[in-house]
Amino acid sequence: MKIASPKGTRDFYPEDMSLQNRLFSVWRETALLFGFEEYEGPAFEHVELFTRKSGDEIVKQLYNFKDKSDRELALRPEITPTLARMIAAKGNSLKKPVKWFSIPRVFRYERMQRGRLREFFQFNLDIVGEASVSAEAEIVAASVQTLKGFGLSPADFRVCVNSRRLMKEMLMASGIAEARLDAAYAILDRRSKVEPGVLSEMYKEASFSENDIRAIEDIFSLTSLQAIRGRFAQSQGVDAAAKELEDFFGLIKNYGISECVIYDSSIVRGLAYYTGIVFEIFDTGKTLRAIAGGGRYDSLVALFDGEETPAVGFGMGDAVIAELLKEKGLIPSYTKQTKVYIVNFNKESLAPAIETAALLRSNRIETEFALKPQSPKKQMETAQAARYVLFVGGEEWDKGQIKIKDMKSGEEKTTCKNDILQHLVF
């Protein structure tokens, strides 16, 4: 009987893996380009690591279990709590700010839908220990460079930026109590994604008064920082938060990426732990879910017994970006990489094929041959993707010779086997 792979997981056959490796290599190269260093953590953690950050509700979305010594563990749904734990563990011995990246595999027990999986890879960038908006700007610039690295143009996507701090100041200046802010954020995060009727229901369920609702909706009619400053001219808090966003956009201009980074009052981010600037990246036209998201979270490290530490982070899953790249035709087609293919056509050609392959491989040339003799015709199919095809064995081999076929020019020549390396030019 066949056994299936678990629901929400993927098998990566070589052609699928080639796409994954493309994602990983652009992520890694971009992170290094910006001076981020790679880290990793365990695939599972004590459940408490996740509930302390996100509350007990998070357990619903976890693959959680007891190990054989009754430890309460869970597969990580994200790596940020691990990062905070690792930073807290090092205390002051770590020179701040740190710029770290990771490509963790993460696990979420979620209802299945397009672009959502229960197991996926996520690119994470974090700057920990820098309070100024230059950290946000550096992270956003790295995220833009990542998308460019895949061959996307700035016209293909938008980085939509808002500020939790600005929202907080506006909401409080409008009479919303500080204790109600998290409830408001949770609704506002869904605001542009649901029908107006559903939105009303959500407000009611969360017990917001008619006055509250009017005040909140009034804020969302302001679509520019200028309009916000006009409306809240009396509030020093709004002024300072707007100034911070303006400083951020000033740095974005220095990075030369203003054309694809915009202010967007609808960006809230669902998670309670963001404290400052937040952002999400969408394909232009928003036909897909968010490609990536992130923001400032200054209180997390302290939650794990570290010192209060400013931090900015960013995460990009592998599913949505892969969809977008497929749509844009930016995924290179897969062919098995072989620089040299050696034809093994009879019992006597295996030994020469092995000896030749050993020579080439020890010179770092990717080389393949048929492990069992086959007709040359059958092998030429496999050999099509190679740069050179070699024929070894028979009388030629006994005379110390090898026949080379250049698969680019179609040219064939016979050479002394000791000189073979000189004839293989890549």
Interface positions, 304-343, toward a copy of itself (CB under 8 A): 304-305, 336-338
SS3 75: strand
Q: Indicate which single residue of 23, 26, 34, 265 sits in contact with a copy of itself (rule: CB under 8 A).
A: 34
Q: Residue type for 103, please?
A: I
For residue 234, count CB atoms less than 10 angstroms from its CB and return exposed for 0-12, middle for 13-18, buried for 19 or more: exposed
CB of 342 to a copy of itself, least distance (A): 10
Give the residue from 173, 181, 250 showing the smallest Cα distance to 215: 173
What's the rounded Cα separation, in Å, for the pair 82 and 101? 12
For residue 288, count CB atoms less than 10 angstroms from its CB and return exposed for 0-12, middle for 13-18, buried for 19 or more: middle
CB of 54 to a copy of itself, least distance (A): 14
**Smaller CB distance to a copy of itself: residue 136 or 212?**
136
**Smaller CB distance to a copy of itself: residue 20 or 174?**
20
Q: Indicate which single residue of 23, 54, 78, 107 sits in contact with a copy of itself (rule: CB under 8 A).
A: 107
**Smaller CB distance to a copy of itself: residue 105 or 231?**
105
Residues 82-101 that bind a copy of itself (CB under 8 A): 82, 85-86, 88-90, 97, 100
Neighbours of 220 (CB within 10 A): 14
Interaction between residue 155 and a copy of itself (CB under 8 A): no
Give the residue from 154, 123, 151, 155 showing the smallest Cα distance to 139: 123
Terminal Cα-to-Cα distance of the chain (whole angstroms): 47
Contact 251, 134 (CB under 8 A): yes
Q: Residue type for 216, please?
A: I
**Smaller CB distance to a copy of itself: residue 109 or 220?**
109
Residues 237-296 that bind a copy of itself (CB under 8 A): 250-251, 254-257
CA 173 to centroid of chain Cα atoms: 37
Interaction between residue 218 and a copy of itself (CB under 8 A): no
**Smaller CB distance to a copy of itself: residue 62 or 199?**
62
Interaction between residue 383 and a copy of itself (CB under 8 A): no
For residue 168, count CB atoms less than 10 angstroms from its CB and return exposed for 0-12, middle for 13-18, buried for 19 or more: buried
Q: Indicate which single residue of 25, 55, 56, 66 sits in contact with a copy of itself (rule: CB under 8 A).
A: 66
Give the residue from 103, 58, 98 showing the smallest Cα distance to 79: 103
Q: Indicate which single residue of 92, 113, 333, 362 sits in contact with a copy of itself (rule: CB under 8 A).
A: 362
Interaction between residue 138 and a copy of itself (CB under 8 A): yes
The residue count for binding a copy of itself (CB under 8 A) is: 91
The token pair that represents 233 in the structure block: 């001219």
CA 290 to centroid of chain Cα atoms: 12
**Smaller CB distance to a copy of itself: residue 35 or 175?**
35
Q: Indicate which single residue of 22, 115, 116, 119 sits in contact with a copy of itself (rule: CB under 8 A).
A: 119
Q: Indicate which single residue of 39, 151, 323, 328 sits in contact with a copy of itself (rule: CB under 8 A).
A: 39
CB of 229 to a copy of itself, least distance (A): 23
